[in-house]
Structure 1
Amino acid sequence: MASWNSIPLEITYETLGWISFISWSVSFYPQVILNFRRKSVIGLNFDFVVLNLTKHSSYLIYNVCLYFSPAIQKQYFQKYGYDQMIPVAANDVAFSIHAVLLTVVILLQIAIYERGVQKVSKTSLTIVSAVWLTAAVCFFVALPSHSWLWLLNIFK
């Protein structure tokens, strides 16, 4: 991560980050458990789940790429002038992985459990399709010039 001027500040940052990870991660489980116990997803808003997957997937792409890619980190440092401090911590990466996995679990529950006549709306599917089509177009725009930081900021 970064070099800090203060050990207590770094410890506080890390501690609060992992507390946030735990708090937000725990929030996914009541729905998964409820669906499992009832063997039903009736009443669950499918649009929310599909949009949530898109949101958490784009957050995952942003976090993983910025955290693990030296090329993108180099572009970030050059653009923003920070001295080896990326705006993504390990707890951000862990949360985004966890969020995507738990959202996929809920989607699997939607596929296998009783759902009545509920379905994902056409509006939601249109929005998700437009978002991922835009991301794909931006990827091909960024490809020739290796503008990875520009592309990554689209996922932010």
Structure 2
Amino acid sequence: MTITIHTLLLAISQALGWTYTLIWSVSLYPQLFHNYRRRATEGFSLDFALLNVLGLCGYTVFNGSLLFSSVIRAQYADRHPQSPEPPVHLNDFFYALHGAVICGLIYSQFQWPALWNIDRKGAQQMPGRVTMILLGVCFAIVVVDVLGVCYFPALGAGEWIDVIYLIGNIKLFLTIIKYTPQAWLNYRRQSTRGFCMVAILMDFTGGMLSLVQLFIDTALQNDWSGAAGNAPKLVLGNITILFDVILMVQHYCLYARTSRPETVRPVETDPLLGAEDGRVVRE
């Protein structure tokens, strides 16, 4: 049986999709277990956790609408007649849904530390004022857009797919700003201790694979406007890679010495003892 290039690329696209979905999904767990294991959330930004939850909720709505809503899919096909199938896969939806749940659990470590046996003093953070204002503005914009589609169509408020694109763009916006509080917290502390870098390395790998899959999908349809039709996925991958690099530079270059999980110092011993009796403790 002859395997065509189209069939091969399609198989590669599907394999990449599930691979980066698995990597991104697993990457959400290290920080959750890291906080639980050390019984603290110190070093991890509450704003980062909050923006992650809301962003992934929006991404779930975006992917779910393009996959399961006949109205949204029909409107997408009208706007992209050369490639009427939205370049969104089932793995995109499950990644977003699963991510929203796990990030919600991480956020609960700040809000209900007693459930996780986490030090209350370390968990008592409040979201930044700027973060709350930005979230309020985003919510208000979505509400206005929905009201426009429902009650004021004559004003050119657009279609439901425009609301979905707005939610997708808000997800992009939240992704852009969500890394900033963590990078700023690392800068203020001059350390990344408490922030799990394993998650970032996996996040970086998933972002690269996500972009490769998107380009393969648009090449298969011979219509590069498909990438623009799924702008959240395109920009999300690039932004993820950019900020992952920033956080890796902080951890491995700028604050490498202060970001070590533990340091070793000698314990003072009785001077009558020999050097072989010295001990060390880990801080």
Give the TM-score normalised by structure 1.
0.89
- Gap change, CA 1:71 and 1:104, over 3 Å in 2: same
Counterpart check, 1:75 vs 2:87: no
Q: What secondary structure does 1:6 align onto?
A: helix
The CA distance in 1 between the partners of 2:85 and 2:76, in whole Å, is 9
Q: Which residue of 2 aligns with 1:107?
A: 107
State the Cα RMSD in Å: 1.7
Post-superposition Cα deviations, 1:120-141, rounded to whole Å, max 9, x if no partner, equal 1111111111111111111111
Letter of the 2:105 counterpart = V
Higher relative contact order (CA 8 A, sep 6+): 1
- Gap change, CA 1:99 and 1:82, over 3 Å in 2: farther
The CA distance in 1 between the partners of 2:84 and 2:125, in whole Å, is 49
Q: Which residue of 2 aligns with 1:152?
A: 164
Q: What secondary structure does 2:73 align onto?
A: helix
- Gap change, CA 1:83 and 1:123, over 3 Å in 2: closer
Mean CA deviation greater in 36-45 or 65-74: 36-45
Q: What secondary structure does 1:44 align onto?
A: coil
The CA distance in 1 between the partners of 2:147 and 2:55, in whole Å, is 21
Once the two structures are superposed, the pairs formed by residues 4-153 of structure 1 within 5 Å of their partners are: 6-113=6-113, 114-116=119-121, 117-144=124-151, 145=153, 147-153=159-165
Contact 1:72–1:149 (CA under 8 A) maintained in structure 2: yes
The CA distance in 2 between the partners of 1:54 and 1:112, in whole Å, is 18
Q: Which residue of 1 aligns with 2:277?
A: none
Post-superposition Cα deviations, 1:6-34, rounded to whole Å, max 9, x if no partner, equal 22121111000011101111211111001
The CA distance in 2 between the partners of 1:13 and 1:84, in whole Å, is 18
Contact 1:42–1:118 (CA under 8 A) maintained in structure 2: no
Greater than 4 Å deviation, 4+ residue runs: none
The CA distance in 1 between the partners of 2:42 and 2:97, in whole Å, is 26
Give the TM-score normalised by structure 2.
0.51
Contact 1:56–1:99 (CA under 8 A) maintained in structure 2: yes
Q: What secondary structure does 2:54 align onto?
A: helix
Q: Give the superposition deviation at 1:43.
A: 2.1
Letter of the 1:127 counterpart = L
Structure 1 residue runs without a partner (length 5+): none
Q: What secondary structure does 1:32 align onto?
A: helix
Q: Give the superposition deviation at 1:42.
A: 2.0
Structure 2 residue runs without a partner (length 5+): 114-118, 169-283
Mean CA deviation greater in 62-71 or 104-113: 104-113
- Gap change, CA 1:6 and 1:132, over 3 Å in 2: same
The CA distance in 2 between the partners of 1:74 and 1:128, in whole Å, is 30
Which of structures 1 and 2 has the bigger CA Rg? 2
